[in-house]
Amino acid sequence: KAGVTQTPRYLIKTRGQQVTLSCSPISGHRSVSWYQQTPGQGLQFLFEYFSETQRNKGNFPGRFSGRQFSNSRSEMNVSTLELGDSALYLCASSLAASGSYEQFFGPGTRLTVL
Amino acid sequence: KNQVEQSPQSLIILEGKNCTLQCNYTVSPFSNLRWYKQDTGRGPVSLTIMTFSENTKSNGRYTATLDADTKQSSLHITASQLSDSASYICVVSATSGGGADGLTFGKGTHLIIQP
């Protein structure tokens, strides 16, 4: 089975721009979660989608949004980029509820905001 | 507030030696505990996932232990190899059937294996 894929792998943007990141989960997995990882903070939960519905959301501003399509692929969008948004963005997929089922992470998208 | 504390923050050992990483948590109610290995610039890879009833679980040279009474877990690496250099992240799930918002992540232990 193919693993979780994320595109693009690297991205450089300037302040004020917006960005869209994509995640394709493992075939058959219905839950997709997004995380932001920075050196000082570790992994911070952004949001989780299950069957095209946002199941829960972390403590991030409204500039961070996402969606999930009928094939379980997910996208996250960050508008009005700030320097502090520079991070590794990871998505993870699981069969169902992430609390009970093992999560499989993608390679991440490295976003740099200049 | 649910918390996961990992120690040490960083560790340097010689190739071939053993090491043990610690994870203490204050997560309630407990569902399961996971250990991940994350190479620099890559996504985390699962090593083990342990439920309340499991005390020990092995994955090759990696052995995780869980003491649910003291809320402690350890990850023991035997006969370390250069490829073991990575960050090791402990994650605790608060509720069975819950979503990703019930996962509490530790900040990781950065392990360096020297030849």
Q: Contact B101/A108, CB-based, under 8 Å? A: no
Q: Contact B97/A99, CB-based, under 8 Å? A: yes
The answer to whether B32 and B49 are in contact (CB under 8 A) is yes
Per-residue pLDDT, A72: 94
Q: Order of strands across the sheet with B19-26? A: B3-7, B19-26, B72-77, B62-67, B56-59
φ/ψ of A92, rounded to 5, equals: -135, 140
User: What is the rounded CA–CA span in Å between residue A47 and residue A57?
Assistant: 4
Per-residue pLDDT, A99: 80
* Average pLDDT for runs of 10 along chain B of length 115: 94 98 93 95 94 93 96 97 97 81 92 97
Q: Contact B99/A102, CB-based, under 8 Å? A: no
CA closest to B93 among chain A residues: A99
Answer whether the bond into residue B44 is a cis peptide, omega within 30°.
no
- A–B: how many Cβ contacts below 8 A? 76
Q: What is the pLDDT of residues A75-99, one digit of tens each?
A: 999 999 999 999 999 999 999 888 8
Per-residue pLDDT, B100: 83
Q: Which residues of chain A have pLDDT under 70?
A: 1
Element (H, E) at B43: none
Per-residue pLDDT, B97: 65
For Cα atoms B80, B83, B88, give the angle at the middle one, nearest 5 degrees: 80
Q: Contact B49/A104, CB-based, under 8 Å? A: no
Write out chain A residues lying below 8 Å of B48, CB-based: none
Write out chain B residues lying below 8 Å of A95, CB-based: none
User: What is the rounded CA–CA span in Å between residue B26 and residue A31?
Assistant: 26
